[in-house]
Amino acid sequence: MQTLAKGPLVARGRISVLTRFEHPTRGAVRCPAAAAFAAALAERLRPGSAAIGRDVVLDSDVDATRHTRSTTTAAVTYLDRDGHATGLAVALPSDDPDALDAVLRAVCEWTAVMRTRRVLVAEQPSCAVSATATAMCAHRRTAHASVLDFTHRGDTILLVTEPGNALAEQLAADAREAGGRAEIVYGAYGAVEGSALDDVDADALSFIVVPGTRIEVAAPVLLGLRERFPRLRGQHPDEYCYGRSDWYETVRSVAAASECVLVLTDPAEPTDPTVTEVVERIGVPCLRVTDPADLRPAQLGFHAIGLIPANSVTADKRVAEAIELLGGLGPLSTRRRATRTEPLRPSSAGQGTRSIAVAAPGQDTAGWWGSGLLP
């Protein structure tokens, strides 16, 4: 850390946190963490508090190569991997020793968490982002079509889902509007709830796995339903939506590869409790963040940080803000991680099947019977 004298800049009682400045030897220095540092310093020096009262503001482009006695700039800098200078800098009146002491303490606190970091960002499948996105996806349209098909053939429809999936109620309403009946079956790893199934016709029963339901939650529920209703019919598995399952697997994977996880969300949105549950099961610290500028050194002292954007149209913006902040606290590597469950594409023009000749009597059949799919 250096203290650099500087020309007339800062009024008495005011402290300027710099978004960029000119270093005497390193040239132009970017300060991406300035907003968070300024917010933390303002908390420490808030006028009217028990501490010394000072106004903290963000300023840009200060030339620290001009020297007079009126202003001091305290700065810490480092070189990124590409050779560009990055750091933190604060300018304040030179004749304010109390403020200078507080500023130097704050700079030391933030300098202590400067390090090379790895950031892993969880990429959300579109179906996992919001109820609106789920409603617009192809799986939603397919589920609606299946509701109408099963209703028209006179079946009672079992909508397999988990709590919190609003689409289940919409599909149930679709069935009622078409003159049919639908029952929502909530499940959690094998538990089947709902006494409403006692009066259904076991020979006219179909199921739909509601889009937005984790397959690992639905699978044991379907197993229980099939044991109870052996003639149960339903969707072809190709119609299942894996978006939610993929999302939680991505969250789990990111958490397992991180020392700390920041769940980035909008202030007006509740945090998905399953995301928190998945992260806590891994055993790493998990913090809900609505504004990356609210992060403090005690929450940033990690070499590997996972970013989980959660259920928000502003998720990309918050991820960018968090990466910008972390990029001001040491050299940064950022990677995006996603889980995708996709159809297995056939490797041959025959749609994955091969012609299998029936062996003549006495012909050696070794080697052919396992090489293709039986018709």
Alpha carbons 66 and 91: distance in angstroms, whole number? 13
Alpha carbons 305 and 292: distance in angstroms, whole number? 13
**270 and 123, same domain (yes or no):** yes
Q: Does residue 267 register a pLDDT over 80? A: yes
**269 and 234, same domain (yes or no):** no
CA 206 to chain CA mean position, Å: 35
Tens of pLDDT, residue by residue over 318-358, are 999 999 999 999 999 999 999 999 888 776 444 544 433 34
**180 and 266, same domain (yes or no):** no
Tens of pLDDT, residue by residue over 219-229, are 999 999 999 99
**13 and 103, same domain (yes or no):** yes
Residue 212 lies in a domain: yes
Assign residue 23 a region: left if phi > 0, alpha if psi is -120 to 50, beta otherwise? Answer: beta
Assign residue 297 a region: left if phi > 0, alpha if psi is -120 to 50, beta otherwise? Answer: alpha
Question: Helix (H, G, I), strand (E, B), or coil: what is residue 75?
Answer: strand
**258 and 123, same domain (yes or no):** yes
Domain boundary among 195, 225, 240: 240
| Mean of pLDDT over the chain | 82
Residue 362 lies in a domain: no
CATH number at residue 299: 3.40.1010.20
Residue 144 lies in a domain: yes
Interval 23-41 mean pLDDT:
92
**108 and 142, same domain (yes or no):** no
Alpha carbons 45 and 55: distance in angstroms, whole number? 7
**143 and 231, same domain (yes or no):** yes
Alpha carbons 248 and 238: distance in angstroms, whole number? 20
- DSSP letter assigned to residue 298: G
Tens of pLDDT, residue by residue over 180-220, are 999 999 875 444 555 568 888 999 999 999 998 999 999 99
Pairing of β 71-79 and β 27-30 = unpaired
Contact 225, 259 (CB under 8 A): no
Interval 260-276 mean pLDDT:
86
**293 and 329, same domain (yes or no):** yes
The pLDDT score that the predictor gives to residue 271 is 75
Element counts in the chain: helices (H) and strands (E): 10, 18
CA angle (156 as vertex; 153, 158 as ends), nearest 5: 125
Alpha-helical segments (H) within the chain? 34-45, 97-111, 126-129, 131-136, 138-152, 167-177, 215-228, 243-256, 273-282, 315-326
Residue 363 lies in a domain: no
Please count the other Cβ atoms lying within 10 Å of the Cβ belonging to residue 29.
22
Residue 374 lies in a domain: no
**26 and 106, same domain (yes or no):** yes
Q: What is the band of 365 on the pLDDT scale with cuts at 50, 70, 90?
A: very low
**309 and 214, same domain (yes or no):** no
Domain boundary among 179, 206, 240: 240
Interval 280-301 mean pLDDT:
94
Q: In the numeric block, which tokens belong to residue 328?
A: 């001001």
**Domain that residue 13 falls in:** 2-112
**209 and 262, same domain (yes or no):** no
Residue 19 lies in a domain: yes
Tens of pLDDT, residue by residue over 132-165, are 455 567 889 999 999 999 999 999 999 999 988 8
Could you give the number of structural domains in the chain? 3
pTM of the model: 0.79
- DSSP letter assigned to residue 196: G
Alpha carbons 290 and 139: distance in angstroms, whole number? 31
Please count the other Cβ atoms lying within 10 Å of the Cβ belonging to residue 156.
21
Assign residue 349 a region: left if phi > 0, alpha if psi is -120 to 50, beta otherwise? Answer: alpha
Alpha carbons 168 and 241: distance in angstroms, whole number? 13
Cα torsion angle, 87, 88, 91, 94, sign: negative
Residue 77 lies in a domain: yes
**270 and 233, same domain (yes or no):** no
Question: CB under 8 Å to 319, separation ≥6 — which residues?
Answer: 121, 264, 307, 309
